[in-house]
Amino acid sequence: MKITIFGATGNVGKRAINEALLRGHDVTAVLRNKARADEINSAVKIVIGDVTNVDDVVKFSKGQDLVMSATRPPIGLENELVVATQSLLIGLAQTKVRLLLVGGAASLIVPNSNGTLVVDDAELVPLAWRGIALACLAQYQLCQENESVDWSYLSPPAMIIPGERSGIFRQGNDELLIDEQGNSIISLEDFAIALIDEAELAKNSRKRFTVAY
Ligand SMILES: NC(=O)c1ccc[n+]([C@@H]2O[C@H](COP(=O)([O-])OP(=O)(O)OC[C@H]3O[C@@H](n4cnc5c(N)ncnc54)[C@H](OP(=O)(O)O)[C@@H]3O)[C@@H](O)[C@H]2O)c1
């Protein structure tokens, strides 16, 4: 598959590239900063662009099978995530390329809570993280409202950290996955497996899904 990745130098983006290359996909990484190109595997085509620029989304999605976006705005500019999502949805409505969005846990429902969202649970989302959590919630709502793009939204569990590539994890839909020890966690490497599985199989077209141990 021909896959374009925004956020390619990030924690998630780098692992997604590794997983995609492992499976023989043709990857294009969109970087804002050319100076970070040496962080990217030499098998990847590198282009310079910004996800908040609709023209860049159009240009770098044309002829591709999938666009994956795993960008994170700087602290204090959390609303950029909403602008980025709008840009992706506008651009991909034009090129008709599938979108796989790395989202947040914010919009998941806390189990056994009568419907409380993760964003509103102060234990899961302390005040310092509320800005990015609200931006992730708005990001998901934009997808839900969108009827022009074939999107899929992967919500991480509460924690996503460097670890092993095990290939063993659970998948859910709208509820935060928590294990028997009370942990909601997955490694970045297994999260990348879930991303590339979705890229290949498109099992969650116009749906949100989540993965965790
Ligand atoms: N539990 C959770 O809900 C949870 C946990 C972890 C991550 N996440 C989500 O997962 C996503 C990725 O996280 P991460 O940890 O991989 O982030 P990260 O390591 O901070 O990487 C962010 C990436 O986004 C790129 N970027 C930022 N703004 C951009 C723009 N306007 N155009 C193009 N690229 C841009 C950065 O590139 P530059 O080099 O140009 O800055 C960088 O490659 C985020 O949306 C985050 O909210 C959610």
Q: Block means of pLDDT (10 residues each) for the chain, length 213 residues?
A: 98 98 98 95 97 98 98 96 98 98 98 96 95 97 97 98 98 97 97 98 98 98
Q: How far apart are the first and last CA of the chain?
A: 28
CA distance 66 to 204: 14
Tell me if 212 CB under 6 Å of ligand 1: no
Ligand 1 pocket test target in 18, 47, 68, 71 with most atoms within 8 Å of CB: 71
pLDDT of residue 63: 98
CB 130 within 8 A of CB 184: no
The dihedral through the CA atoms of 160, 165, 166, 168 has a sign that is positive
Residue 114 C-alpha to ligand 1 middle, in angstroms?
31
- Closest by CA to 61, choosing from 142, 102, 2, 103, is 2
- Which pLDDT value is given to residue 116? 98
- Rounded CA-CA distance 73/135 in Å is 10
The reported pTM is 0.97
DSSP letter at 193?
Answer: H
Is the beta carbon of 84 within 6 A of some atom in ligand 1?
A: yes
Of all residues in the chain, what percent are helix, strand and coil, respectively (each to 5)?
A: 35, 20, 40
Residue 101 Cβ < 6 Å to ligand 1: no
**Predicted pLDDT of residue 200:** 98
Q: Give the pLDDT score at 34.
A: 94
Residue 54 is predicted with a pLDDT of 98
pLDDT at 58: 98
Q: How far is the CA of 199 from the centre of ligand 1 (A)?
A: 19
So what's the pLDDT on residue 93? 98
